[in-house]
C-alpha cells in the first residue's frame, strides 16, 4: 500500500519545477511532509479534519499551513478536508450549533433561528454566509471550533489505533507463517 501511495506523490524535484511552488520550496522540503508513517499520517488527518470545518474556500490552504507548521503529511491533510462538501456542510454546522449550545448550557432551550437567504449572486455569498453565522450567535461560534477539535482528536487517535492494529496483525501473520515453514 505504501508503494502505491508513494508512486502517486510528487517528487521534491517536480515540486521545485512548478513555478507557483518554487517560493515555498524551503518549507516543502521537510521529509515528514511526504513520509507515510503513523505519526505523520495521523497528524495530516487531524489537520485536515480540523480545517475542513472552516467556511469558504480556504480549507485546503489552512490544512497545508498546519501540515507545514506541524510537519505532518501534506497530501493527507489536503485530502482529509474533503469530508466537507455541499451535502455535508449543513448537517455538520447543525451538529456544531448543537454541540456549542450543549457546551454553554443551552441544550434544550435554544432553538436555531430560522434563516431565509434571499436570492443572491455568486459575489454576494460571502456576506450572506457571515450574516447567517451572526444569526446563529454564541452556540455556533463556540461549537464550530469544539467540533473541529473533537474531529481532529478522534481522527488522530483513530488513525494511530488502526495503524497499530494493522501492524500487530502483520506481525502475527508473519510469526504464524514463519512457524509453519520447515
Q: What is the pLDDT of residue 15?
A: 67
Say if CB 39 and CB 163 are below 8 A apart.
Answer: no
Q: What is the pLDDT of residue 181?
A: 54
Q: What is the pLDDT of residue 120?
A: 59
Q: How far apart are CA 148 and CA 63, in angstroms?
A: 12
Residues sharing a CB contact under 8 Å with residue 39, sequence separation 6 or more, in sequence order: 72, 160
**29-41 b/e (C-beta count within 10 Å ≥ 16 → b):** eeebbbbbeebbb
Q: What is the pLDDT of residue 141?
A: 86
Say if CB 103 and CB 142 are below 8 A apart.
Answer: yes
Q: What is the pLDDT of residue 121?
A: 64
Q: What is the pLDDT of residue 116?
A: 58
Full pLDDT tens readout for the chain, 182 residues: 566 666 776 666 776 677 776 777 767 777 788 888 999 999 999 999 999 998 777 999 999 999 999 999 999 999 999 999 888 988 998 999 999 989 988 765 545 555 555 565 666 667 766 776 666 778 888 999 999 999 999 999 999 999 999 999 999 988 887 776 55
Could you tell me the residue ranges of all domains in the chain? 2-180
Q: How far apart are CA 6 and CA 31, in angstroms?
A: 13
Say if CB 32 and CB 74 are below 8 A apart.
Answer: no
DSSP codes, 20-38: TTGGGHHHHT-GGGT--SH
Q: Distance between alpha carbon 11 and the CA centroid of its chain, in Å?
A: 23
Amino acid at each position: 500500500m505504501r508503494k502505491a501511495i508513494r508512486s502517486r506523490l510528487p517528487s521534491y524535484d517536480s515540486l521545485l519545477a512548478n513555478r507557483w511552488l518554487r517560493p515555498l520550496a524551503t518549507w516543502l522540503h521537510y521529509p515528514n511532509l511526504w513520509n507515510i508513517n503513523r505519526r505523520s499520517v495521523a497528524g495530516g488527518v487531524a489537520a485536515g479534519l480540523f480545517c475542513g470545518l472552516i467556511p469558504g474556500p480556504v480549507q485546503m490552504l489552512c490544512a497545508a499551513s498546519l501540515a507545514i507548521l506541524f510537519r505532518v503529511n501534506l497530501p493527507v491533510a489536503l485530502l482529509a478536508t474533503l469530508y466537507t462538501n455541499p451535502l455535508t456542510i449543513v448537517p455538520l454546522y447543525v451538529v456544531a450549533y448543537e454541540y456549542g449550545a450543549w457546551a454553554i448550557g443551552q441544550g434544550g432551550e435554544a432553538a436555531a433561528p430560522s434563516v431565509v437567504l434571499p436570492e443572491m449572486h455568486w459575489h454576494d455569498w460571502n456576506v450572506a454566509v457571515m450574516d447567517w453565522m451572526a444569526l446563529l450567535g454564541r452556540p455556533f461560534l463556540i461549537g464550530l471550533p469544539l467540533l473541529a477539535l473533537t474531529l481532529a482528536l478522534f481522527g488522530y487517535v483513530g488513525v494511530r489505533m488502526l495503524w497499530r492494529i494493522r501492524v500487530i496483525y502483520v506481525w502475527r501473520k508473519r510469526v504464524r507463517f514463519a512457524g509453519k515453514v520447515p
